[in-house]
Amino acid sequence: MMITLAPRQTETVHIGPAHLTALAAIPTSPIGLVIFAHGSGSGHLSPRNNRIADGLHEIGLATVLPDLLRPEEEGDRASMSDIALLAARLFSVAEWAEATPGLRHLPLAYFGAGTGAAAAILAASGPDRRIRAISVRGGRIDLAGQRPLTRIRSPLQMIAGSRDLPIIGLSRAAMPTLGCDHELAIVPGSGHIFKEAAALDVVVGHAARWFLAHLPDRRSKEQ
């Protein structure tokens, strides 16, 4: 399947054997592709994820916002907390991207939120090293498990609100076990869900900086 989109336009696609619904957007001359992992498993309609995706488009990144759970699984606590299932679904989105004309040559990154952060780490912790960078907001990275945290090699950025003390504590506790380049970025005055518009702008700024630093720019090689 070939995807050709005008700048900032989005297209609904269905991915993999699970027929996951996703929202794909490809700016002109993208420099990379960011795949989102939402905490509830259902992310393509998340207003915060879409706001962040809009900001990433501005710096030339394509985005895919998938629902990692099927409609009949949404709201099921067992499925929502099944990190291995979410990670496997997220990995299938990366596989789809690498088989899709228009996307297959783009360097890949993950952006996770909540339990989706753990799914992103688990998905990137195996022998497959295709994921070049990961950024997470309000991330429960502890739920990935100790071994994936020690094995991950993708540069990891953890974004937390200054009032979200539990996430700050979990992030700091995990840092000594990480064998990858990493940072903890604090958003002043924000809580766990970054409900303030200004807070989301800061999140976008941190994520954009991280991805630009760690994703190779294909355009410079093509000039």
Domains of the chain and any CATH numbers: 10-222 (3.40.50.1820)
At 55-95, the pLDDT tens digits run: 999 999 999 999 999 888 877 777 778 999 999 999 999 99
Q: What is the pLDDT of residue 5?
A: 41
Copy the structure tokens of residue 16.
Answer: 């993999």
Pick from 154-163, 194-203, 206-215: least confident: 194-203
Average pLDDT, the chain: 89
Q: Please say whether the beta carbons of 152 and 121 come within 8 A.
A: yes
Across 164-190, average pLDDT: 96
Kindly tell me if the per-residue pLDDT of 42 is higher than 90. no
Residues in the chain: 223
Q: 106: buried, middle or exposed (CB in 10 Å: 19+, 13-18, 0-12)? A: buried
At 53-65, the pLDDT tens digits run: 999 999 999 999 9
Q: Which of the four pLDDT bands, split at 50, 70 and 90, describes residue 22? A: very high
**71 DSSP assignment:** G
The predicted model scores a pTM of 0.91
Residue 62 has φ and ψ, to the nearest 5°, of: -80, 155
C-alpha closest to that of 108 among 219, 189, 218? 218
Q: Which of the four pLDDT bands, split at 50, 70 and 90, describes residue 28? A: confident
Q: What is the pLDDT of residue 126?
A: 84
Distance of CA 188 to the CA centre of its chain: 22
Compute the distance between CA of residue 32 and CA of residue 97 in angstroms, rounded to an integer. Answer: 11
Q: What is the pLDDT of residue 218?
A: 55
Compute the distance between CA of residue 51 and CA of residue 43 in angstroms, rounded to an integer. Answer: 12
